[in-house]
Chains A and B, each alone.
Chain A
Amino acid sequence: MRILSETLLSLVGVGKSFKEVNALTHVDLEIKSGQVIGLVGGNGAGKTTLLRLMAGVMEPSKGSINFQDKPVSSMRNKLGVVPESTGLYSRLTAWENIRYHSRIYGIDDEIAWNRVNHFANLLDITEALSRHTKGFSKGMRQKTALLRALAHGPDILLLDEPTAGLDVTSARTVRKLVGKLRDEGGTVIYSTHHLAEAQQVCDRIVIVHNGTIRADGSPEELLLATGQESLEEAYVSLTSDKARARSEDGKKESKLAKWWRRFLTGSTPDYKEVGEDE
C-alpha cells in the first residue's frame, strides 16, 4: 500500500531548449502521490513539453527529473501516458491496442484484461473493446487510450488535454474517471486549457506561461496569492505578459526555402504589427 503524500516525481531546475527557443525555463515541481495536478496554460505555454519531459520521452537541457530518486527515463514502466493524439492503431481492435502496450510493460494478458474491464465499465466502452478502432469517435479513442494507459497499473497517469475535442458527455466521463482514480489514491497529471475544468478536477493547479511556472497551489491558495476573487482573474493577472509564438522545433525558414516557397506559391505580405506604418 502506497504511503500517502510520498514524492513520486521531482523536477529540479528543469529547462528545455529547442535550438534557439527556450521551451521551458527553470521548472521546479514536486509531484506527490494521491494528487490530481492540473497543468493549465495557453497554446505554446510549454505544457506538452513539460509532460513529455515528465514522461521521459525527452531529456531536459538543464536540471533533472527523477522518479523516486531515479532518472524518470529509466522508470517509464511506472508511468501511464495519454498523449494528445491518443495514438491508436486503426487496424487493431481496442483490446489489441491495449494489449500491445501492456505486453511491452510485461503485464500478463489476463491481469490487463481484468484491469481494463474494471475501468471500461466506468467509461461505458466494454462492448467496443473487440471492435477495430478505425471508426471510433474522438471520445471512444480517448477512452481507449485511457484504458491503455491504465492497463499496467501505473503510479502516475499523465494526460495531455484529455477532454480536448470531446462532446460534453464524453468529457464528463473522462473527468469522472480521473475523480475515481483520485478516490482510489492514484496520481494524475492533467494538462488542460480550461481553468474551470482544472478547478473541477484537480487538487492542485500549476499555471504554465511562456515556459515558466507562474503559480502552483490549490485553487484557494492561488486566489489568496493573487488577491483575486475568481480563478479566471487570478490566471489573467499571472499571465498578463504577451504569449510567445509557438515554435517547439525552433526551426527558422532558410532563405532558400523562403525563396522556393515564394517561387511556387507567390509572395505573401510580410507580417507587420497593426499601426506599424504610421
Chain B
Amino acid sequence: MSDSWRFISTIAKKEIIEFVRDWRTLIALIVIPLLIFPALFIALPLLLQSEAAELDAMELEVVWQGDVNDELNTSFAESNLIISYEEMPSGITNLSDIGNDLDRIRNQETQAVFRLLENESGWKFSVLYISTSEASSEARSRIIDAIIEWESGVVNGTLVEAGLDPESTLDPVTWDGNWEVSDAATKGEQAGLALSLFIPMVIAIWTASSAIQPSIDMTAGERERGTLEALLCLPCSRIQLLAGKWLAVASITSAGVALQIGGLLFAITYLASSSVIGIPSVSATSIALLLGAVVIFAIMVVAFELALAMKAHSVKEAGSLLGPAILFIIFPALFTQVINLDSIESWWFAVPLVNILLAMRELLLDRVIVEHVLVWMTSSIIYAGLAAWFAARQFKREDLVASIS
C-alpha cells in the first residue's frame, strides 16, 4: 500500500467512523434517505386515499332554499347529503348573494346552502359554501355532481323529445380506438420521462445538502474543536488531507444518495405492481453515464463545500456560507426542469450545474447523444477540477494553524 493511499484511506476511515457514531447522523444518513421516496410515493397516496374515503363516507348537512325538484332531491339523497328545506331568503340581489347566510356558513352550522329557482327560461341555482373547509367543499362538489347528472338527463330528454340522438348531437367528434396504444413511447420510456422530471433535481439537492454537515464538521468543526493543528503536524500533505476528507464526505453523501435511489426503486416497483407507472427502460450505457455524471457532480460539489467550510473560521460561519450556497444548486435544478430537451443547443451542456442536470434528464430518457455527452463530460471535469483546485488552495492556507490559537 502506497503512503499516499494509506494517508487518504486512514483519514477517510476515521472521519466516517467518527461521523456515524452519532445516532442523529445515522438517522439523517440512512433512515431519512431510505424512507423519503416510499413515504412520498406509497404512504402519501395511501394516506390521501384513506382521507378521501373518509370524506366520501361522511354525511353532510345542506340547506336547500327555494324551489324543490324531485329528481334532484333523489340524487342528493344518494350522495349522502342530509337536506333541510327553507324558503328563499328575501333581500338578495341574485342567488349567489350570500346575504344573511354568511355567518352560519362561516361557523359551519351547515356545510353548504343550495339555492334553486324555476322560472320561464328554466332553472337557476347557486351553492354557497366556504372553500377553506374540506367538508364544505365536499358538499359543494356532491351538489355540483348531482346537478350535472340531472342537467344531463334534462338535456337528453329535451333532445329525444325533439327527435335527436343525444350522443351524436352532443359528441359529434370522437376518438377512434384506444388512445393509450397510439403513443409510440413505451411504458418504460414514459416512466423515464416522468422520473427525469424530478430525479436529477432530487440527486442534485440531496447531494449538495447532505454534504454540508460532514463538510463543516470535518473542516471548520476541526478548527473550532482544536483538532486540526494536531492533524496538520502529521507527515501527510495538505492535499492528502483534503483527499481523505473528500473521500469521507463523498462516501457519506453517496451512501445517502444510494439509499435514496434504493428507496425510489422500491417505490417504483410498488407503483409498477399497481400499474400506476412502468419500470423505466434505460440502457446499460445510459446507466453507466448516469453514474459517471453523479460521481463528477459529487466531486465538484463536495470539493466546493469543503473549500467553503475550510475558508470559514468557525462552524457558525461555515453554516452561514454553505446554507445560502445551496440556492446555487436549487435554482439551476428547478430551471433545468423546464428546458425543452428536443432540439436543445449543445452549449446548454457546458453551463455549470445545469449541464449535469440536463445530462441526467437526457440519460433517463435513454438518449445518448455523443456531442452532448462530450460537452457535459469535458466541461464537468473542468469544473470539478476547478473546485478541487479551489479546495486545495484553502487547505494549503497557513492561517489554518495560526487562527486556531
A contacts, CB < 8 Å to B: 18, 48-49, 52, 55-59, 76-77, 79, 81-92, 96, 100-101, 103-106, 145, 148, 248-249
Partner of B6, one of A88, A103, A148, A248: A103
Which chain B residues border A89 with CB–CB below 8 Å?
A: 14, 18, 227
Give which listed residue, B3, B14, B22, B398, contacts A100 with CB less than 8 A: B14
Is there a chain A Cβ closer than 8 Å to B390's Cβ? no
Of the stretches B86-94, B229-237, B329-337, B357-365, the one at the interface is B229-237
A55 lies within 8 A of B233 (CB): yes
Nearest CB of A to B260, in Å:
25
A-B contact count (CB 8 A): 83
Q: Are B235 and A104 within 8 A (Cβ)?
A: yes
* Bound Cα distance A56, B238 (Å): 12
Interface footprint category on B: 20 to 34
Distance between B151 CB and nearest chain A CB, rounded to angstroms: 68
Q: A-B pairs with the 7 shortest C-beta distances?
A: A85-B226, A87-B230, A81-B233, A77-B235, A76-B235, A87-B227, A83-B229
Interface string of B55-90 (1 = CB under 8 A from A): 000000000000000000000000000000000000
A249 touches B399 (CB 8 A): yes
In the complex, 17 of the A-B residue pairs with CB atoms within 8 angstroms, ordered by the A residue number, are A18-B402, A57-B233, A57-B401, A81-B230, A83-B230, A85-B226, A85-B227, A86-B226, A87-B225, A87-B226, A88-B227, A89-B227, A92-B14, A101-B230, A104-B7, A106-B3, A249-B403
Q: Which residues of chain B in 5-39 are interfacial with respect to chain A, using CB atoms and an 8 Å cutoff?
A: 6-7, 10-11, 14, 17-18, 21-22
A91 CA to B10 CA in the complex, in Å? 16
B275 an interface residue at 8 Å Cβ cutoff? Answer: no
Distance A84 CA – B229 CA, assembled complex (angstroms): 9
Residue of B nearest to A77 (CB): B235
| Cβ of B231 to closest chain A Cβ, rounded Å | 7
For A58, give its contact among B17, B231, B401 (CB under 8 Å).
B401
Cβ contacts under 8 Å, B21 to chain A: 91-92
Q: B22 touching A105 by the CB < 8 A rule?
A: no
Q: B351 at the A/B interface (Cβ < 8 Å)? A: no
User: How many angstroms between the C-alpha atoms of A172 and B66 in the bound complex?
Assistant: 100
Chain B 230-249 residues near chain A, CB threshold 8 A: 230-236
Q: Which residue of A lies closest to B400 (CB)?
A: A57
Q: Is B105 an interface residue (CB 8 A)?
A: no
Q: Are B18 and A92 closer than 8 Å at their CB atoms?
A: yes
Chain A residue nearest to B7 in the complex (CB): A104
Q: Give 16 A-B pairs besides A85-B225, A87-B227, A105-B234 with Cβ atoms closer than 8 angstroms.
A: A52-B229, A55-B233, A57-B232, A76-B233, A81-B233, A83-B226, A85-B404, A86-B230, A91-B21, A92-B18, A92-B21, A100-B10, A100-B14, A104-B234, A104-B235, A249-B403
Q: Is B228 an interface residue (CB 8 A)?
A: yes
Given A104-B10, A106-B3, also A248-B230 (CB < 8 A): no
Q: Do residues A92 and B17 form an inter-chain contact, with CB atoms below 8 A? A: yes
Q: List chain B residues, Cβ under 8 A from A48.
A: 405
Q: What residues of chain A lie closer than 8 Å to B14, measured between beta carbons? A: 89, 92, 96, 100
Q: Which residues of B contact A106 (CB under 8 A)?
A: 3, 6
Assess the B229–A85 pair: CB atoms within 8 A: yes
Question: B228 to chain A: which residues have CB within 8 Å?
Answer: 87
CA distance A248 to B229 in the complex (A): 15
**CB-based contact B234/A76 at 8 Å:** yes
- Look across to chain B and name the residue whose beta carbon is closest to the beta carbon of A158: B233
Q: Nearest residue in A to B399 (C-beta to C-beta)?
A: A249
Contact B231 A87 (CB under 8 A): yes
- Nearest CB in chain A: distance from B312 CB, A: 15
* Contact yes or no, B10 A248, CB < 8 A: no
Inter-chain contact A58/B402, CB cutoff 8 Å:
yes
B227, A58: Cβ atoms under 8 Å? Answer: no
Q: Least Cβ distance of A275 to chain B in Å? A: 33
For A58, list chain B residues within 8 Å (CB). 398, 401-402
The 8 Å CB contact of A87, one of B229, B236, B402, is B229
List residues of chain A with CB within 8 A of the CB of B3. 106
Cβ A104 vs Cβ B230 within 8 A: no
Check A248–B227 contact: CB distance below 8 A: no
Residues of B within 8 A of A248 (CB): 402, 405
A residues near B227, Cβ cutoff 8 Å: 85, 87-89
Closest to B230 in A: A87
The residues of B that contact A87 with a CB separation of less than 8 Å are 225-231
Does A91 contact B6, Cβ atoms closer than 8 Å? no
B221 CB to closest chain A CB (Å) equals: 10
Q: B13 to nearest A CB, angstroms?
A: 9
CB proximity of B325 to chain A, nearest CB, Å: 22
- A105 contact from B18, B225, B235, Cβ within 8 A: B235
Whether A91 lies near B229 (C-beta < 8 A) is: no
Interface centre among B225, B234, B235 (most CB of A within 10 A): B235
A104 contacts across to B, CB distance below 8 A: 6-7, 10-11, 234-236
In the assembled complex, the Cα of A104 lies from the Cα of B14 at a distance in Å of 11
Looking across the interface, which residue of chain A has its beta carbon closest to that of B231? A87
Nearest CB in chain B: distance from A67 CB, A: 12
Across-interface contacts of B234 in A (CB, < 8 A)? 76, 101, 104-105
- Taken together as a complex, chains A and B put the C-alpha atoms of A92 and B15 apart, in Å, by 10
Q: Of all chain A residues, which has the CB nearest B236?
A: A104
B196 smallest CB distance to A (angstroms): 40
Contact with A along B379-405 (1 / 0, CB 8 A): 000000000000000000011011111
Query: Which residue of chain B has the shortest Cβ distance to A87 in the bound complex?
Result: B230
Write the nearest CB–CB distance from B11 to chain A, whole angstroms: 7
A99 to chain B, nearest CB (A): 9
B402 to chain A: which residues have CB within 8 Å? 18, 49, 52, 58, 248-249
Residues of B within 8 A of A57 (CB): 229, 232-233, 401
Tell me which residues across on chain B come within 8 A of A49, comparing CB atoms: 402
Chain B residue at smallest Cβ distance from A48: B405
B10–A103 CB distance below 8 A: yes
* Bound: A101/B230 CA distance, A: 9
CA distance A116 to B269 in the complex (A): 54
